[in-house]
Amino acid sequence: MIDQTQIQQFSARVNEIKREIGKEIIGQEKVVDQLLTVLIAGGNALLEGVPGLGKTRLVRTLSQVFDMPFSRIQFTPDLMPADITGTNIIVKTETGNEFRFREGPLFASIVLADEINRATPKTQAALLEAMQEHSVTVAGETHTLAEPYFVLATQNPMEQEGTYPLPEAQLDRFMLKIMVDFPTLDELSRIVGLTTVPQNEHAQKVADAETLLQMRAVAQEVPVAQAVRDFALRLVLATHPEVESSPETVRRFVRFGASPRAAQAIIATARVRALMAGRYNVAYEDIEALAPACLRHRIALSFEGMAEGETTEGVIANLLKTLPRD
């Protein structure tokens, strides 16, 4: 059972990390909060937004603050699985030639998969193993990736030509899908001021991998009342059109609903959010705040839903509005 001291230390550490990120990133407080939530909960995140919003810079800044190995992979249609996993090479030794494994960019603690939907399904499948199993298989040999391990992927919603839609199995491996919005006028002014003159302040290391694992262990001890847990489970079940108790909008506009991983993601991230707010238990508000990011990429609209102009955001908002808490 966690105590008040652990909660205060957790909250103070998160605020310190956010202050350092704020030296490099202007605004986007909600995005930073959600990304930190994913890291502490031990999941992967998919960031979606137009180019130039600082998605790559944010992920790179995270690696600096946590002082963890970072690699960036620019996904393109001609990228092959061996380009990201690594490959066996022939090395000349005193006793002759032998094969040695050369690690690819997946062998880092924080991996940025830039424009992930530009890669072919074959390369996406190689990334899927790293995301789910935290291992890479090359030539029949499995190589374990060091913990903690995160894949933070980005995709551009505007450019559809030359892209390969991510399969449902891969989307399901992302704990959250985070929407990166365009900055406000004030934020845009500060961004221009920060990036068009020499920068004096840079993000400094204030944590490390061990710190992150300790924060995760504390978060996993946060209690969840049965009524709150049931609310999260009923919310996930309500996304399925075949369930009799589902709302009319779901039965009409949804082709298939969220998987059990959605329920796991909601509970895991809600625990972290509660601690970040200085609370020692999960509230209904935590579930409601994180449900859109946990569900939006796990719900598929039916043909009728797309024809009617419905969106997954609208379906989730309606669920949160109509589903009773108890």
* Inside any domain, residue 191: no
* Number of structural domains found in the chain: 2
* Inside any domain, residue 197: no
Domain boundary among 195, 219, 243: 219
- Is the per-residue pLDDT at 199 higher than 70? no
**Contact at 8 Å (CB) between 53 and 156?**
no
Residues 239 and 323 in one domain: yes
Residues 162 and 228 in one domain: no
Can you tell me the mean pLDDT for 24-52? 87
For position 49, which CATH number holds?
3.40.50.300
Residues 135 and 80 in one domain: yes
- Looking at per-residue confidence, does 276 or 141 come out higher? 276
Can you tell me the mean pLDDT for 107-123? 89
**Contact at 8 Å (CB) between 232 and 283?**
no
d(CA 136, CA 237): 33
Residue 22 is predicted with a pLDDT of 82
Residues 214 and 281 in one domain: no
Q: Tokens representing 117?
A: 């939907």
d(CA 137, CA 129): 8
For position 281, which CATH number holds?
1.10.8.80
**Contact at 8 Å (CB) between 234 and 309?**
no
Residues 155 and 253 in one domain: no
Q: Tokens representing 64?
A: 């600096």
* Inside any domain, residue 43: yes
Residues 261 and 215 in one domain: no
Domain boundary among 169, 191, 219: 219
Residues 215 and 267 in one domain: no
- Is the per-residue pLDDT at 197 higher than 70? no
Residues 160 and 226 in one domain: no
Residue 70 is predicted with a pLDDT of 92
How large a percentage of the chain has pLDDT more than 90? 45
* Inside any domain, residue 226: yes
Residue 161 is predicted with a pLDDT of 59
- Is the per-residue pLDDT at 254 higher than 80? yes
Pairing of strands 174-179, 44-48: parallel
Residues 140 and 259 in one domain: no
* Inside any domain, residue 66: yes
Reported as a pLDDT band with limits 50, 70 and 90, residue 226 is very high
- Is the per-residue pLDDT at 279 higher than 70? yes
* Inside any domain, residue 192: no
Burial class (CB in 10 A: 0-12, 13-18, 19+), 268: buried
Can you tell me the mean pLDDT for 272-292? 93
Can you tell me the mean pLDDT for 41-66? 85
Residues 108 and 164 in one domain: yes
**Contact at 8 Å (CB) between 81 and 122?**
yes
In terms of residue numbers, what domain contains 293? Answer: 222-326
Q: Tokens representing 66?
A: 């946590």
Can you tell me the mean pLDDT for 118-126? 85
* Inside any domain, residue 131: yes
Residues 22 and 165 in one domain: yes
For 201-210, 241-250, 315-324, which range has the lowest pLDDT when averaged over its residues? 201-210
- Is the per-residue pLDDT at 158 higher than 60? no
Residues 6+ apart with CB under 8 A from 286: 270, 273, 274, 277
Q: Tokens representing 63?
A: 């690696």
Strand partners, 47: 154, 178
Residues 175 and 239 in one domain: no
* Inside any domain, residue 42: yes
Which helix (DSSP H) or strand (DSSP E) does residue 70 occupy?
A: strand 70-74
